[in-house]
Amino acid sequence: MVKRKAEKQQAAAPMSAVAARRARQQQAQNVSTTKGEAEVEIMTEPPSKKTRRSLDGDEPKKAECADIRVSRTSSSKKQDAPVPAETAKGRSKGSTRANQSDDAPPISEPQALDEQQEGSDEDQVGGPEDMSEDEVASIAGDADGYESPADTPAELQNFPLSKARLNKSKVVYADEGALCVRIKEKMNLALVGQYDLWVKRGVVSLMGAKLRPSSKVYRVYAPSTHSLPVIKCVSGVDGEAEVEFKSCNNGLARLRDASPLYQRIWNGQNTDADKIAIKGAAENWRRSFSVLYTSADDSMKRHLRPLHLDKKWSASMKALSQRQGRLRVLVCGPKASGKSTFCRYLLNHVLSPAPETENGYLNTDGVAFLDLDPGQPEFAPMGQVYLAHLKAPFFGPPFTHPSLDDSRDGHILRAHHIGATSPKEDPDHYAVATMNLLDQYRTLLAIYPQCPLIVNYPGWIFGQGLEVATWLIGCLGLSDVVYMSEKGPAEVVEPLNVAANAARVPMTILPSQPTEFVSRSSAQLRSMQIQSYFHLSHQAGLSNPQWSETPLSRTRPTAVEYAGEKQGIAGVVVMGSQINPNMLREVIEGAIVAVVEVESPRAFLGSSSSAERLSREDEQYGTGADDDVEMGSNESATKGTLASIEDGSVIRTPENLPYLFAGFGSCTPLDPKSSNCLGLALVRSVDTASQKLELSTPISSSRLYNAIEQGHRIVLVRGQLDNPNWAISEEYHAARAAERQYQQSVSRLRKNEDSLSGDDLVKHNQTMAVLRERIRRAGNVPWMTVVEDNSRRRREEAARREKSLWKLRKKAYPGSESETDW
């Protein structure tokens, strides 16, 4: 009775999602208080944010899972939490939790693995040998801000994705690697995966860009971590557009072997639309993309949604693009309001190769993109602000284009390392870096006078962030300001409006468009982006980048001398942390640093005299002439003195590392006017015997040689970025993946033979022994603990061990009591 009444009320008039949820909650309360009534099942909406899962949950029964926990801490003294690992065999086949997200990264409940792995053994591109039941990893608790998957309804909503339906009359041709179709006007098509798009006839729209017939092929990335891009026919010949989709193999999908965050994000098994007009294909053929009509077509049963722009967004983009070369727009707003999505669509819209006859304007100067969000940059790894000059649209999330080195479609003109994911750590340095990038844009205008400017401001919009935003509005010479929230707050909107009126700049307020279902948290997306950055390579002769799934520990590092006649590193800068020079090796070894070229000695701003710095160090740490801190050149090092080099002064540590030390226990940031960030590097080790640093970096050697030939010096900057836990666990995930793939290959051979022969059995046992030894060694590395038993007792034991390791790393200076506090 109560349920029918509630249904009638809901059907009487439309209501919002919040009102519907409240009605269902009230319905549940009424049913629980009514005696004798049948129990009513209440369906709740999935939360927009993922809830964090506690370690004190129900203990799984008969489950043995591998759980990697990284215990290393950064110099900023933030404790690292667990990172994912592969699950071990022997998991329970018991009841499953139906409310677990299907597109979520690995989970910690082994009971849910059966449902999540069902149909996923062959869901990845490349054939069934790439995945197995052991593919799913587990996350216990909160790892570096990683959030556990959100609880979702038991029954997935069958959400429409494509309006167009393919049949044999709409398919021009199809084979195992390509699909050419006709799309009627005002109809659209959604695909998941990776593909090359070639428009042969008509005009189609994709992620804000209007693509016309040409010989150019566009690379499109459509993972399930973001809303799927929709291909819509704008106009065509005889009312239809003809488009070809072609499979691509660039190695990005194989990163799932190095990190569980990359698992289950591309296309799965072939859909009915994929099989149209395919005859005589191989049994295990698979394209790198799949056509989806609804979310129910997805073999992995993920929460897939198409990305449709709000009408106000579309109208605003059209109005902004009409300003042509005079466009100077600042996009700002609160966090998770859709700023990056709006900038990406606006960028593609302005870069669309529109014919000159349409509006009398042909964009030949490209677009300048000033990215001021160091937490989630679009074309660079985290921790940087930069100015990029782009000449072609980009289709994909940031981790599909983490760098623009040697790219034909665009390049970064200048970048500065902020050293953190938020500007609030050092607002002054952030403002100076922003002004330098604006000067670089004015220089660009001398070459490309009709180059528009799009500025992406971070979600740091309160307090000092609001002051910086209003200051930028007054000094940027903008043409427009876009604020991405109709809900205010008033204390933010009013100052922005006042600043815009004072600068005589129109301000547009648009509704926010957050993602309803989130399968990766912001921290996880940052981890995916920086891991993609380190595995990326721009090969000569190829227009698109390539990725390698080989763990960084198995790649050959770059050895750079930090002392001696062939010294390649002028110094090391540590931002935001007060450390003793004796701890410099501890701080940089195994950490991510920025590689910065110093163009002149003026880059070392605020450096006081040698006597002042030495006295401050003595006062800060109590060091004197008798302390074991070696300062000076590597030949005539003297205690208590500073050694001068060509572009500044350094302190030599006991390992002879050149420490650019200034201020009260921390380093002054480099002056943006005289420095430029080339990229990031991972310091794998400090070899004190040969006095060399072993670095892993995707920076091309040509850029480094070019900087050295110009007489610039190379400086490493250690900021407050997240620790590279993904790099520590890569070898373990790769070893487990190699074992799975070998076992699957053996199982395929056994299908044809009842048992292995004697010699084959011996080889099989030897290979398995080698693989298991590799897994054992990969799991037995410093700062990482592999927990095979995922029971509550084992998790608590691992947590206690992490706590003890954290106290061990918590030393403030050599000889302190905390150094031996176990």
Number of H helices, E strands in the chain: 16, 33
Q: What is the pLDDT of residues 525-549, one digit of tens each?
A: 999 999 999 999 877 767 788 999 9
Question: Cα–Cα distance between 740 and 136 in angstroms, integer?
Answer: 12
Question: Cα–Cα distance between 650 and 637 in angstroms, integer?
Answer: 12
Contact 724, 592 (CB under 8 A): yes
**Antiparallel, parallel or unpaired: β 203-206 and 328-332:** unpaired
Question: Cα–Cα distance between 561 and 722 in angstroms, integer?
Answer: 26
Is the confidence at residue 560, as pLDDT, over 60? yes
Quick one: pLDDT at residue 206? 94
Is the confidence at residue 468, as pLDDT, over 70? yes
221 bridge partner residues: 194
Q: Could you tell me which residue, 591 or 45, shows the higher pLDDT?
A: 591
Is the confidence at residue 775, as pLDDT, over 80? yes
Contact 204, 233 (CB under 8 A): yes
Q: What is the pLDDT of residues 30-42, one digit of tens each?
A: 544 444 433 333 3
Supply the DSSP string of 166-205, one letter for each residue.
--TTTEEEE-SSEEEEEEETT-EEEEEEEEEEEEEESEEE
Quick one: pLDDT at residue 148? 35
Quick one: pLDDT at residue 425? 83
Q: To 10 degrees, the CA torsion angle through 378, 382, 387, 391?
A: -30
* Region 330-337 average pLDDT: 90
CB atoms within 10 A of CB 378: 22
Please give the model's pTM, rounded to 2 decimal places: 0.77
| Amino acid residing at 594 | A
Question: Cα–Cα distance between 481 and 503 in angstroms, integer?
Answer: 11
Q: What secondary structure letter does DSSP report for 239?
A: T
Please give the mean pLDDT across all residues of the chain.
75
244-248, 270-274, 619-623: least confident range: 619-623
Contact 551, 730 (CB under 8 A): yes
Gyration radius from the chain CA atoms: 28
Confidence of residue 25 (pLDDT cuts 50, 70, 90): low
**Token pair 């933030």 is at which residue?**
78
Burial class of residue 689 in the structure, from the number of CB atoms within 10 Å of its CB (0-12 exposed, 13-18 middle, 19+ buried)? exposed
Is the confidence at residue 499, as pLDDT, over 90? yes
Confidence of residue 821 (pLDDT cuts 50, 70, 90): very low
241 bridge partner residues: 183
70-74, 326-330, 695-699, 729-733: least confident range: 70-74
Quick one: pLDDT at residue 536? 92
CB atoms within 10 A of CB 481: 26
Q: How far does the chain reach from its first CA to its final CA, in angstroms?
A: 63
Quick one: pLDDT at residue 30? 57
At 765, list the tokens.
Answer: 């046992």
CA distances in angstroms from 401 to 192, 345, 378, 803, 820, listed in the order given: 17, 15, 8, 37, 45
Q: What is the pLDDT of residues 145-190, one digit of tens each?
A: 333 333 344 455 688 999 988 988 899 999 888 999 999 998 999 9
Is the confidence at residue 408, as pLDDT, over 70? yes
Pure H helices in 723-821: 725-752, 758-779, 792-808
Q: Could you tell me which residue, 803 or 589, shows the higher pLDDT?
A: 589
Instruction: Report the share of the chain in percent with pLDDT over 90.
Output: 37
Instruction: Report the share of the chain in percent with pLDDT over 70.
Output: 68
| Amino acid residing at 667 | C
Q: What secondary structure letter does DSSP report for 535?
A: T
Question: Cα–Cα distance between 105 and 712 in angstroms, integer?
Answer: 43
* Region 740-755 average pLDDT: 76
* Region 215-228 average pLDDT: 93
Q: Could you tell me which residue, 606 or 138, shows the higher pLDDT?
A: 606
* Region 496-518 average pLDDT: 86
Q: Write out the H or E segment, with its range, that includes residue 714.
A: strand 713-718
Quick one: pLDDT at residue 69? 60
Q: Could you tell me which residue, 408 or 242, shows the higher pLDDT?
A: 242
Q: Measured over all CA atoms, what is the biggest interatomic distance in the chain, rounded to whole angstroms?
A: 92
Quick one: pLDDT at residue 636? 34
Is the confidence at residue 48, as pLDDT, over 60? no
Q: What is the pLDDT of residues 342-386, one digit of tens each?
A: 999 999 999 986 554 455 556 678 999 999 999 989 999 999 999
* Region 814-820 average pLDDT: 34
Determine if the peptide bond prior to 489 is cis (ω within 30°).
yes
The sheet carrying 658-659 orders its strands as 558-561, 692-696, 675-687, 592-598, 713-718, 571-574, 658-659, 648-652, 643-645
- The full 3-state SS of 90-115, as one line of letters, equals CCCCCCCCCCECCCCCCCCCHHHHHH
Confidence of residue 762 (pLDDT cuts 50, 70, 90): confident
Supply the DSSP string of 338-387, one letter for each residue.
SHHHHHHHHHHHHTS---HHHHS----S-EEEEE--SSS-SSS-TTEEEE
* Region 386-397 average pLDDT: 94
Question: Cα–Cα distance between 174 and 246 in angstroms, integer?
Answer: 10
Q: What is the pLDDT of residues 83-130, one digit of tens each?
A: 444 333 333 333 333 344 444 444 333 333 333 333 344 444 344 334
SS3 state at 816 = coil
Quick one: pLDDT at residue 96? 39
Contact 564, 691 (CB under 8 A): yes
| Amino acid residing at 273 | A
Q: To 10 degrees, the CA torsion angle through 598, 604, 605, 607?
A: 180
112-121, 396-405, 435-444, 523-532: least confident range: 112-121
Confidence of residue 682 (pLDDT cuts 50, 70, 90): very high
Quick one: pLDDT at residue 602? 79
Question: Cα–Cα distance between 42 and 39 in angstroms, integer?
Answer: 9
Quick one: pLDDT at residue 548? 92
